[in-house]
């Protein structure tokens, strides 16, 4: 069933989504391997956005790029399908 109080997971990731890390968070993966994530000690407003991750992905357009969200009550993966176009490929109930 998942979290009844969590926001709906978007089919297309918005570029202004904050890529925070803490008790769960977001990770950028390149060809299935860890590539980048935010520092867990950053203040909210200093975290990168999906647009920042997009800029990194544009440097290697042939790679398979994914953004993973892993939170206590929900998780999701979006795959890059072109410029500013990150499409939901997987979602679940989180790690708790």
Tens digit of pLDDT for each residue in 14-35? 999 999 888 889 999 999 999 9
Q: Is pLDDT of 2 > 70?
A: no
Distance CA 57, CA 1 (A): 33
Supply the pLDDT for residue 41. 87
Q: pLDDT-derived band of residue 96, with 50, 70 and 90 as boundaries?
A: confident
Identify the residue whose tokens are 């202004």: 16
Tens digit of pLDDT for each residue in 43-80? 888 999 999 999 999 999 999 999 999 989 889 999 99
Supply the pLDDT for residue 79. 98
Three-class HEC string of the chain: CCCCCCCCCCCECCCCCECCEECEEEEEEECCEEEEECCCCCCHHHCCEHHHHHHHHCCCCCCCEEEEEECCCCEEEEEECCCCCEEEEEEECCCC
């Amino acid at each position: 069933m998942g979290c009844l109080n969590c926001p709906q997971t978007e089919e297309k990731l918005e570029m202004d989504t904050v890529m925070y890390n803490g008790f769960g968070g977001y990770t950028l993966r390149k060809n299935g391997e860890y590539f980048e994530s935010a520092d867990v000690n950053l203040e909210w407003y200093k975290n990168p956005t999906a647009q920042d991750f997009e800029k990194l992905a544009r440097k290697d357009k042939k790679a398979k790029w994914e953004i993973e969200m892993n939170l206590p009550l929900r998780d999701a993966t979006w795959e890059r399908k072109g410029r500013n176009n990150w499409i939901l490929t997987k979602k679940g109930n989180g790690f708790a």
